[in-house]
Structure 1
């Protein structure tokens, strides 16, 4: 069994909308491959060369995921290639014309999106001879969406960028005051464009920063990770980690060998 996983920086042409790209290639697999889907603040376009299932429901070759809060697993059978484009949170509405709330904790088969069928994206990806060709097709498709997309709401771009770059530690009241909007307007802005409340998005960014720190150094003290990422204490961090993954950090690390690096 051979598995290769790599993160790729997006081409400059789509970098305003795409944060990063994950590629997983797996051959000679005798058992199902289980990819954990955890909250990371990024709506995601996923292509996989074979069909899969999530929460017992079938998942097609080309799928758009909204904001994830509850943990779930993507189960893939047989040899496969998986390509995931992680978007900035505001791109869901401007690129795909989907209200953020419609896709929270949900996924949609992109094969039914008119822009994707007009471009024959699924057929092109399934018939592409090599990974390089698949990446080119997905990037070209996103460029086409960017050319015809509605203008991003500058307020939501500013708010989500501030929260993300500060790993969820920037005070929401400060951001709201800078934007000069009421709390109700701020809430609606997030629910429409991102699909979750500003508070939940902030919590997810804080969790994801700590989650990445644990990945970078699995031997690090949990208390250090907790304090560096703004948690009240170690038990607060463990509680939040379990909420978003279903595991304690130590349980997750025990299972990490089956997961993607």
Structure 2
């Protein structure tokens, strides 16, 4: 598996976490991979063989060749049908709302073809350019031009949303909305509404996902000597609370997560 990350243009760095590419050789025995929530929105392009997205234990749909994965709150499985070659833009929680005019709650927990967001002609032109690009660097150049052009045509995210997300990221999800709004508690309902439109999930849900991110990184890095220590450093109330949240977002326990064959892809992302 070849997984690489690339930094965005400075004008996009406050909205985009990174670009990443993934190449995996075809296998006679492909493994399903469990994808867990990470609080970000992805715009992905598939250049290799089709990828299955399981909707139930035995049923699946094929992922679109170019799509946006909105905020997710539960894990799901994917499985390659052959050679994997993909490229993705990973947006910060408030990043993608700067490029579209639709409420982001309509994108949550699903993969939306980009033509549904940008129009058939515009999306098909972008997709064709990405497919014909010679390498990853050329793909980055193409997508950055597209995004910079879109950035000048759409409304920007509300300040209250951006500041709330930044506070959650800075504290690894461990600050309450009441604390963020302590200067003006009356804005809570406004914040909830704008979060739904511009992030896709609630502030509380995003905080839980961000806190889990911190715990996952400790778990994978081996820095946590025990689940109790990881829970403490990630500011969970206790180990039981940590395990409960972990299972909610990954579908398995922390001990099962480590070394599990269908967690290889997610493990690479978190490392």
Secondary structure of residue in 1 paired with 2:109? coil
C-alpha contact 1:65 1:103 (8 A) present in aligned 2: yes
Q: Measure, in 1, the Cα distance between the counterparts of 2:169 and 2:213.
A: 10
TM-score normalised by length of structure 2: 0.87
TM-score normalised by length of structure 1: 0.90
Q: Measure, in 1, the Cα distance between the counterparts of 2:34 and 2:10.
A: 28
Q: 2:216 is matched with which residue?
A: 211
Q: 1:99 is matched with which residue?
A: 103
C-alpha contact 1:163 1:169 (8 A) present in aligned 2: yes
Alignment of structure 1 residues 103-252 onto 2, 5 Å: 103-114=107-118, 117-118=121-122, 120-178=125-183, 181-217=186-222, 220-252=225-257
Task: Check 1:240–1:57 CA distance in 2 against 1; reply closer, same or farther (3 A cut).
Answer: same
* Cα shift readout 1:226-246 (whole Å, capped 9, x = no counterpart): 100011112211111111001
Q: CA deviation at 1:211?
A: 1.2
Q: Measure, in 2, the Cα distance between the counterparts of 1:217 and 1:256.
A: 18
Q: Measure, in 2, the Cα distance between the counterparts of 1:63 and 1:211.
A: 26
* Cα shift readout 1:16-61 (whole Å, capped 9, x = no counterpart): 2101222211224333354432111111111121332212122111
Task: Check 1:179–1:25 CA distance in 2 against 1; reply closer, same or farther (3 A cut).
Answer: farther
Q: Measure, in 2, the Cα distance between the counterparts of 1:191 and 1:175.
A: 17
Q: Unpaired runs of 5+ in structure 2?
A: none
Secondary structure of residue in 2 paired with 1:81? strand
Q: CA deviation at 1:116?
A: 7.1
Alignment of structure 1 residues 12-23 onto 2, 5 Å: 12-23=10-21
C-alpha contact 2:257 2:263 (8 A) present in aligned 1: no
Task: Check 1:7–1:213 CA distance in 2 against 1; reply closer, same or farther (3 A cut).
Answer: farther
CA RMSD of aligned residues (A): 2.1
Q: CA deviation at 1:218?
A: 7.2
Q: 2:51 is matched with which residue?
A: 52
Q: Measure, in 1, the Cα distance between the counterparts of 2:65 and 2:29.
A: 19
Q: CA deviation at 1:84?
A: 2.0
Task: Check 1:75–1:111 CA distance in 2 against 1; reply closer, same or farther (3 A cut).
Answer: farther
Q: CA deviation at 1:256?
A: 5.2
1:71 aligns with 2:69: no
Q: Measure, in 1, the Cα distance between the counterparts of 2:162 and 2:92.
A: 9
Q: 2:84 is matched with which residue?
A: 80
Q: CA deviation at 1:75?
A: 2.1
* Cα shift readout 1:207-236 (whole Å, capped 9, x = no counterpart): 111112212227731111110001111221
